[in-house]
Amino acid sequence: MTRHITFIGAGNMASAILGGMVDSGYSREAITASSPDESQLAALHERFGIQTTTSNVDAVKQADVVVLAVKPQLMKDVCTELHGTVQDTRPLIVSVAAGIPADALERWLGGDLPVVRCMPNTPSLVGSGACGLFANPRVDADQRDLATTLLGAVGLVEWVDEESLLEAITAISGSGPAYFFLVFEALEAAGVKLGLPADSARRLALQTAAGAARMAQQSDQSPERLKRNVMSPGGTTERAVHCLEDAHLRQAFLEATDACAQRAREMAEEFGNR
């Protein structure tokens, strides 16, 4: 039986997930998105053929699953608005918001509801997402499978048993696409400085990243070994990699991911304890 999925919010993350679902064959008639922004809704309807409304309450009435995809600072108000309806219809609640604890969502929605908290990422839009999931104790096996199907339609799914591990997942894969986009920017700029046309430098950088990721995914060898295979002794790569190590690239990643996880904890305090 096809379950009706309603997205509250129609921005980057909602469109990435629902777009991926439609592309993977999920019924468009069974997807609704709600947002105050009519032009955003019209664009989603045009692109994916899904149902849209500006009324959050109307949107959740028929939903088996409600995906909360608004900014963390708006979450309490949105949940409070939906409280009465979801207490009647009792859908599975799925939140993509960084930092907002499952028990805060459940409390704001009136209590005693199955809540899955997830940390997806924007490559879901092209079916290559990576998503961490945590279920509160009220989520049953069928709802867990439903959440796996929903997010699995747009990429890799990893369940965690401890909610705090979603902070680590935010630091690695939730925010992670931005780190790689930054590297693409830097490599393109470096290529231009070395004399390549910008478009050519970009294509080469992106293809190299995609090839390296695909190779690492398909290989039995560790990334460390694969890196060694490129580094001919006394050759060009060895010199480049030494420069990156001397520039403390590993330390920079440790600090960046630590800062990211710390910000997720702060957001739980800032927006979750209301």
Ligand X SMILES: O=C(O)[C@@H]1CCC=N1
153 belongs to the binding site for ligand X (CB under 6 A): no
CB of residue 98 to ligand X, shortest distance in Å: 4
Kindly tell me which residue out of 32, 52, 124, 175 binds ligand X, with binding defined by CB under 6 A. 175
Q: Is 98 in the site for ligand X (CB under 6 A)?
A: yes
Q: Which is nearer to ligand NDP, 126 or 240 (CB)?
A: 126
Alpha-carbon Rg for the chain in angstroms: 21
Closest CA to 214 of 132, 128, 147, 145: 128
Please tell me the distance from the alpha carbon of residue 186 to that of residue 175, in angstroms, as a whole number.
18
Indicate whether 132 belongs to the interface with ligand X (CB under 6 A): no
What is the contact surface with ligand NDP in residues (CB under 6 A)? 8-14, 34-37, 40, 56, 69-72, 74, 78, 96-98, 119-122, 174
Is 12 a known ligand-binding residue? yes
Please choose which of ligand X, ligand NDP, none residue 118 contacts, taking the beta carbon within 5 to 8 angstroms, the exact cut-off set by kind: none
- Residue 137 CA to residue 104 CA, distance in Å, equals 14
CA distances from 187 to 94, 183, 192, 198, 212 (A): 37, 6, 9, 10, 14
User: Comparing C-alpha atoms, which of 101, 97, 94 is closest to residue 115?
Assistant: 94
Alpha-carbon span 163 to 38, nearest angstrom: 35
Amino acid residing at 56: N
153 binds, among ligand NDP, ligand X, none (CB under 5 to 8 A by kind): none
Amino acid at the residue 150: L
Q: 69: annotated binding-site residue?
A: yes
Return d(Cα 274, Cα 261) in angstroms, integer: 21
Q: How far is the CB of 175 from ligand NDP (least distance, A)?
A: 7
Min CB(226)–ligand X separation in Å: 27
Pick the closer one to ligand X by CB: 9 or 174: 174
> 133 with 117: CB under 8 angstroms?
yes
State yes or no: residue 174 binds ligand X (CB under 6 A): yes
- Residue number with CB closer to ligand X (93 or 260): 260
Say whether residue 170 binds ligand X (CB under 6 A): yes
| 93 known ligand binder | no
**Residue with tokens 């499952």, as numbered in its chain:** 102
Q: Which is nearer to ligand NDP, 60 or 201 (CB)?
A: 60
Residue 70 in marked binding region: yes
Question: How many other CB atoms are found less than 10 A from the CB of residue 130?
Answer: 21
Known binding-site residue numbers for NADP(+) = 8-13, 35, 69-72
Q: Give the interface with ligand X as residue ranges (CB under 6 A).
A: 98, 170, 174-175
